[in-house]
Chains A and B, each alone.
Chain A
């Protein structure tokens, strides 16, 4: 059995912990309970991500991208449909402002939420592999055509491995479904898996 066979389970474990941390941080931030479901984790070539996301979601979305560097390099992308983004904003900041569309202040809030979720997952990976990873500040982009996300993925030629996490949260009785993509080069992906396997074996 090679690394490829173990990788989904190992990654699922790590991401699960990371998403749990994110939910905890979010819960403290908004002072409300955040429920999460066990995320669905898949590993696929980056070139297939666009087709996958369009199969799953027909509407345009909002994606928040964050680069990370250090022991491993790559990019994390958090993707929500617009409707889901608005629902998330109303759950998080609805008391002060009711959202019916995405505004500048709403995008700033999505950036902060993205920073929490993506930062928690990557921090968890970083902790597990025992390396040092630093992040950039994320930037949210509101799609106005479905080529936006495709173009973003095309620019990531070297990051050919994608960990796709479908996560579901419930915040203040609102269901929020989103996708988290962790994009790595083949070498870094293998490095992560190797380090994780070693750690599991107690090496």
Chain B
């Protein structure tokens, strides 16, 4: 039994979806109240009208075929909203804007016997469901993106890298069409933030885009933001997010919207402590920005501001620490320089005195008969003088490090040659790690030996019961982006050595004093606790343009780090002294110059006892006069011994220059208590044939003279 007509009418009119009944020619036979309400077309106006003519859009979009096939082939069709969007074009208002209704459409074929009706179309409005689904999806994406941004913020080390990564997440992960971050500068400029102030340019610092649009074209500045005048300017002035939807503004042409490739945009000020530091602009592409989305984006902007502020604080802190370290290093250097000047002066005078003392002791030993009781006493005194001389040598090393005689060579080879022998007879095991490709460096071999000695001696003393010491060598580059070591070094290539012991370690409060002379935490005397070892290491390494740092903690051992600049060129052979052994007539003549009478007297004695003929003078003009006079005679001088430092007169270097002018073949030996003087270190460069650091003994004097080609059998009295 068919239901009564009235029943059908009540049912179709009361349905919360659209009902359209068509005949075979697609003419409307029924049009329910829902359709009237949503389409705005009254039933009596559409009955008998052709639906496809009434809505040409159906035909235009290719949807008419579904209706026709349903009628002709009696096949039901479903048109889902995600694939077809709609069948009947109906606009609805959602969130204050017009949107085309999303429809779920069912097209049923009707039995032919039922009047003229051939098909029934049922339309269900799914706009809200789909917009909500889209909103949920967008917010989910946004939350996922914010999670990624938060991770970036936690890991951020560089401001530029952070903001660029954030822009990329906003575009690539969340799906915005375009985003950029502009910054006012490192510190912002609060004075220019008032209304009507001079335009403050924002410098574009980072951007990402899907569309390939050039953000520079937006010319984001005060009062000249993208889209319409002042979106960015207003955001900065008000301190609030500014949102713009082109659909709401008739002044914005579709062409302009298409050029920028976005429908909706927002500008979010970046502020720290109410000071503007920049702005984050986001351009949405096809979608609109919901209030929830804006709220989340505001939080993102706040987090970006906070992170930028924190990074800047961190950078300032890092800079302050670097500056503090520099000041500390400078202070240390000045302290060492002052100590050096004092130590050098004392050492020079002391060496002169030692020369006299030692020389006289030696002469006394020659004078007294062999086997005399005094000989043993004099030998003891001479031995003590020798130790005093070693001490003054250390003072001199402190003074200027003893100008190193630099040669390029393999530090790795030096370590392998020198270090293992240092542990012979100890309970300490040494583990060396030296890569084959270790860069060459420029160093003074003897001084590096001292460095190794002092560091290893300290390590051994810190491990009285034995233990392990690891010595590692490696190449390292200090550049603008590399992590700087905690010592002041120029940027460049370095060889780094690490000496790690397992000793008792050093208390934190002592670490800042360990390079001070005579500072020691160990017991004094008996070769322990002189407190000069690390001072000398520091001095030598600084003179090599390197750096040294000690890291230590009680009962955790000590690690001494040493940086030496790597050579830029290949290894060079160390120059060797080649001295011509010239056969001379017996009793060569030596001219000696020194301002100390006692030293002159002593040297005369020494040389005479060695069989030389000696003439001594007390100043430069006398040297020049006597030398020239002798040169023009048949008895020229075979060698000259010159004191380098001369108080109140011509020094050894100046005399040498003038002697060279008189006799380019002159053979001269330079002597001084300042054994660290560059002339003493590089005497050949200054024209001297050899060097005699004070104090010296007769044997050393003899050796030096032999070295320059003079040979004379020792003549005992």
Contacts and interface: CB of A to CB of B under 8 A. Distances in A.
Residue among A29, A111, A115 facing the most chain B CB atoms (10 A cut-off): A115
B112 to A, nearest CB: 12
A115 B76 contact: yes
Given A98-B137, A119-B75, A104 B80 contact: no
A135 B83 contact: no
B76 A108 contact: no
A136 B106 CA distance: 11
A128 interface: no
B106 A137 contact: yes
A105 B130 contact: yes
A105 B102 contact: yes
B140 A100 contact: yes
Interface string A83-125: 0000001001100111010011110110110010001000100
Contacts of B76: 115, 119, 135-137
A94 to B, nearest CB: 10
Contacts of B109: 134
Contacts of A103: 129, 133
- The A interface, classified by DSSP as helix, strand, loop or mixed, is helix
A92 B126 contact: no
B78 interface: yes
A105 B81 contact: yes
Contacts of B75: 119, 123, 135
A18 interface: no
Interface in B28-59: none
Interface string B3-17: 000000000000000
B83 A112 contact: yes
A61 to B, nearest CB: 19
A140 B619 CA distance: 118
A96 B82 contact: yes
A138 interface: yes
A162 B83 CA distance: 31
A37 B549 CA distance: 72
Contacts, number: 62
B140 A93 contact: no
- The B interface, classified by DSSP as helix, strand, loop or mixed, is mixed
B133 A97 contact: yes
Interface residues of B, number: 22
A154 interface: no
B81 A108 contact: yes
A111 B122 CA distance: 15
A102 B140 CA distance: 15
Contacts of A105: 80-82, 102, 126, 129-130, 133
A6 to B, nearest CB: 29
Contact of B80 (A98, A109, A135): A109
B698 interface: no
A57 interface: no
Contacts of A97: 82, 130, 133-134, 137
Contacts of B102: 105
A103 to B, nearest CB: 5
A109 B130 contact: no
B83 A115 contact: no
B612 interface: no
Nearest to B62: A28
Contacts of A51: none
Interface in A117-153: 119, 123, 134-138
A30 interface: yes
Interface string A169-180: 000000000000
Interface string B66-85: 00000000111111111100
A29 B83 contact: yes
A115 B108 CA distance: 12
A89 B82 CA distance: 10
Nearest to B132: A103
B79 A104 contact: no
A101 B74 CA distance: 34
B137 A109 contact: no
B129 A137 contact: no
Given A93-B83, A97-B134, A109-B83, A104 B129 contact: yes
Nearest to B76: A137
Contacts of A137: 76, 78, 106, 108
Interchain residue pairs A-B with the least CB separation, the first 3: A93-B82, A112-B80, A108-B80
Interface of A: 29-30, 89, 92-93, 96-98, 100, 103-106, 108-109, 111-112, 115, 119, 123, 134-138
16 contacts: A30-B83, A92-B83, A104-B129, A104-B133, A105-B82, A105-B102, A105-B126, A105-B133, A108-B82, A108-B126, A109-B80, A109-B82, A115-B76, A115-B78, A135-B75, A137-B108
Given A108-B104, A111-B80, 11 more contacts: A92-B83, A96-B82, A97-B82, A97-B134, A104-B133, A108-B80, A109-B81, A112-B79, A115-B77, A136-B76, A137-B106
